[in-house]
Amino acid sequence: MTKENVFISGASRGIGKDIALLFANNGYKVIGTSRSDFSIDDNLDNFIPLKLDITSRNDIKDCFDYLKSENLLPNILINNAGITADQIFMRMKDEDWDNVIETNLTGTFNLSKIFIKNMIKNKSGRIINISSVSGLMGNPGQVNYASSKAALTGFTKSLAKEVGSRNITVNSVAPGYIDTDMTSFLDNDAKEKIINNIPLGRIGVTSDISELVMFLASDEASYITGQTISVDGGLLMY
């Protein structure tokens, strides 16, 4: 696959930022989005930061029209944006369920739906969804988050079967505990308990995820599709 355009949602920090930097530093044209204005590196002239609410289909349509006018429609889509609103189920507010599902699952649908048409036309493309080990094994206090991420497995498999004949692969990466803002609230005791359950004995770093995403976007991964790959240090083993 030629090094063309990569679109990454949730690129302002954490895993998304690391993915964006890796692709940009390897010669790809990268369009990264966040709900608020941001910048990841002012020295990168091949990175375009865009403010975008992926739950708004009108905003996504405007973004699509802009990228099309600039010849920047992506042949690699990385659905990374996600939020949490953790709470035990009996105390979970309706809006906490709705917001998490709308961002993590419906946002993935919205972006995939609008960009896949151009991939089908070109008979080439990669869609990589960033899921979570929580969606594979469950997690107390994360019924909403785990549900949204579990749904991405079915989304990935079904879409992969639909578009495989067009030379488009669809895969999912399920990070375990990664050292990002999402895990920064954990105190040392909580981290130690988690590490004790991880065979490799450490919490992951963002590059553990971004390097796999880079591989799945490459020609070397052209025969891999419909898969959900856990990157969790062995926390979850089937």
Q: What is the pLDDT of residue 88?
A: 97
92 phi-psi bin (left φ>0, alpha ψ -120 to 50, beta other): beta
pLDDT value of position 41 = 86
pLDDT at residue 190, rounded to an integer: 82
CA-CA distance, 98 to 102, in Å (whole number)? 6
Q: What is the pLDDT of residues 20-46, one digit of tens each?
A: 999 999 999 999 999 999 999 888 999
| Residue 65 Cα to chain centre, angstroms | 22
If we measure between CA atoms, which residue out of 53, 48, 51, 60 comes closest to residue 20? 48
CB neighbours of residue 69 within 10 Å? 9
Looking at residue 234, the DSSP 8-state letter turns out to be T
**For residue 133, what is the DSSP state?**
T
Just give the CATH number of 5-177+205-231.
3.40.50.720
Angle between helical axes of 143-163 and 94-101 (0-180°, round to 10): 30
Q: Name, in order, each residue with C-beta under 8 angstroms of 161's C-beta and a sequence gap of 6 or more.
A: 226
Q: Of 145, 177, 223, 238, which one is the catalytic site residue? A: 145
Please state, in angstroms and rounded to a whole number, the distance separating the CA atoms of residues 71 and 153: 31
| pLDDT tens column, 125-139 | 999 999 999 999 999
- Pick from 3-7, 17-21, 125-129: least confident: 3-7
pTM, two decimal places: 0.95
Alpha carbon distance 50, 209 (integer Å): 22
Edge-to-edge strand list for the sheet holding 29-34 = 47-51, 29-34, 5-8, 76-79, 125-130, 168-175, 228-231
Whether pLDDT at 189 is above 60: yes
Q: Is residue 238 among the annotated active site residues?
A: no
Binning pLDDT at 50, 70 and 90, where does residue 1 land?
very low
Question: In the structure, what pLDDT confidence band is assigned to residue 80 with cuts at 50, 70 and 90?
Answer: very high
pLDDT value at 48 more than 50: yes
